[in-house]
Structure 1
Amino acid sequence: MNGYTEEDLLPQNDKKFRKKSMHEVFAPKLADLLAFRSKQPYLPIDLDQLYKEITISTQASLKEEIYAILPYGEHYTQSFVLYKDAIRLVDVSANLLAEKCLYEHLHMEFEGYKRTLKLFFDKGINTIPIASSDFSLIPFSLTFRPTMYSWINPGRIENLFSASSAAPTVVQLTNDFTITVDRQQRPIFTRMKRAFLTHGIIKRDVETQPVNVTMSLLEYLGISSTRVTRKITKNVQYQHIPGFANDFHRKYQEIHDAIVIENWLNAKSLPKNESD
């Protein structure tokens, strides 16, 4: 035996191809996918076709900037995770991925985060954006599953299309990926602004350099300058971010501690089983 493996006998170019294909089988480039290349203008990308082209993974990169998390599957237990020029299909629900993303970036539990954010906005808000110091994600519920969400990065929205003022709206991202949202454009604008301000709250808490209070929110956040993002952030400056620096993390810790105590007291007050 000469000790050579089958791979050793491949031409050098074939070896490179094999390594590349092994990596991209789980995170293929958008440009390599037929569903993306054959998309129709003003229409959402066919997720069923996309599903056929991607191998299912067990996890996604949550530190990298996410452009969207889209629920998929018979019971929506799987998700497409979209990045700038690649995509993954993971065996995790979209909502759980969003919560994991929050914890990955901020080390915060969703319930405490939600209660804290409501202190900075209207306490009656139901759709809570998730944000880090780098980007934010807006939840859009599926009409037939009101507790299941698609999560879209508003800072990477290039354009919005709709046949009329009625829903649904097709969201085009800056990487040319298109997604349908069952909302009219006006409520989408409202949610985008809230997400941008949330992004600003989180970024302000970790910012170390002094910032001019009249700096535009668009520039401060470093989001894409598109017709839509400029419309949302017009006349919105750094000084318009709700609250003050370090408020969010301090208030979150107070609320988190209160939740822990509340849960402990509730557990203590539960009736014991008769067999105990």
Structure 2
Amino acid sequence: MSAAAIAFSTPPDAPRWQRWLVFSPGARIVFFAVTMAILGFAAHAVVASLGWTAKTAGPLHFALALLAVELLPALIAYAILVKAIERRRLRELALRDVPTFGLGGFAGGLILFSAVVGLLWLLGSYHVLGTNPHADWLPQVLVAGIGAGIAEEIITRGVLFRVAEEGLGSGWALLISAVFFGAAHIANPGATLWSSAAIAIEAGILLALLYLVTRSLWTCIGLHAAWNIAQGTIYGIPVSGTHADGWLVSSRSGPDWLSGGAFGAEASVVALALCSLCSVALLVVAWRRRLFVPPCWRRR
């Protein structure tokens, strides 16, 4: 299987110390994490000085503060990693791919989550109680949609999956990034071990396979953002345990394994089943196209 899809390879003339302390997968992951943490502290200080995190701040200002603390550090740290350490073009975030991969992923996310809600409705678990035309939707779109979509995809697929794949191969990178993605949601309101496992399988595996097939972060960002926007802003379902003020006022009934409980529909077996079917389809595509990258010791 070809390793041509790997974005970065250690320069052959790099000294031994640089191979370990600068260019190795572990070193680059640590560099990104430290850089993002430093930028996060700086962003938090700036928004606090502007009063956007004060108790008197409005919902939009608070959302912009969360967006700045969540999105900017990840985006800037990733640009520094790619440009200063890897010294290459940001092909996986090329702006020319937004109208194709980005919008395609967004449409796919809307359709996929709408299918989840449709099945929950047919099974008698999802109920529409009314509409809410005055929903405060913009802060939710900014934070849960755009902020989470871009920042979490950069961290999990752009850094963790991509860099781990260079050393351990696609299989291990898929497993590691999915487990990390599920564990990252364990502290959310209403989270359980089941909800984290469901997130790891349905979203962690699906989004990693989507990146493996397209090699574009915009596809993952589009699907991730659309999933969250559809879940919270459109259908009024909690997004990973966080309350959503949606255009539809809804409720869910039945056992937690069906409705998803307080965590939201992401913890439902319906979401798990539909996302797993999509993952299987992507897995077949990746296998037939021979897109899986072997571990570095096999490539040598």
Using the size of structure 1 for normalisation, the TM-score is: 0.28
Q: Which has the higher contact order (CA 8 A, sep 6+)?
A: 2
- Greater share of residues in helix: 2
More strand by share: 1
TM-score, length-normalised on structure 2?
A: 0.27
